Amino acid sequence: MESTDKLGHILIVEDDAMLALSMEGALIDAGAAQVEICHTTDAALAALRRAPPDVIVLDVHLADRDDGWAVAELVGGIGPKPPGIIFSTGAPERIPPEIAALGPILVKPYEPAALVRAVREQHPRGLLSRFRLIAR
């Protein structure tokens, strides 16, 4: 049974506009409070400075940089509760192991349901949600 917890603020960093819109739709349908799309590393860094999200879905090979995982490296320094990270890539073997350890990797192409599950697992939950998960 799927959780009905709200997914909070999700930042999608993806340079394929159609894929980003598809991801956005799946996350909104699943209960995301806010979904923000960034197509470049610079736009993602600006978004992180404005309002850190609960979860980042990160394509690591963007049109403007081939090392999009630099965003993931910076996330750890965002406050006491950094966002969860989900990598979204067609070339998972190109992610350095120490970076890949920061979050789950979704290998493109993947089903929208896989994205929603990964976000639910990375989303910080309140105390009551944790009790519901333990009780299952």
95 lies in a domain? yes
* CATH number for position 80: 3.40.50.2300
For residues 95 and 66, the answer to whether their CB atoms sit within 8 Å is: no
2 lies in a domain? no
43 lies in a domain? yes
pLDDT at residue 75, rounded to an integer: 82
| Per-residue pLDDT tens digits for 5-62 | 689 999 999 999 999 999 999 999 999 999 999 999 999 999 998 999 999 999 988 8
For residues 100 and 93, the answer to whether their CB atoms sit within 8 Å is: no
Instruction: Please count the structural domains in the chain.
Output: 1
130 lies in a domain? yes
pLDDT at 114 over 90: yes
CB contact set of 43 (below 8 Å; sequence gap of 6+): none
For residues 38 and 32, the answer to whether their CB atoms sit within 8 Å is: no
| Per-residue pLDDT tens digits for 120-136 | 998 765 444 443 333 33
53 lies in a domain? yes
For residues 50 and 64, the answer to whether their CB atoms sit within 8 Å is: no
Which helix (H) or strand (E) segment holds residue 32: the answer is: strand 32-38
68 lies in a domain? yes
1 lies in a domain? no
55 lies in a domain? yes
Strand order from edge to edge, sheet including 84-89: 32-38, 8-13, 55-58, 84-89, 105-107
Instruction: Give residue 26's domain range.
Output: 8-135
Q: Tell me, what DSSP letter sits at residue 14?
A: -
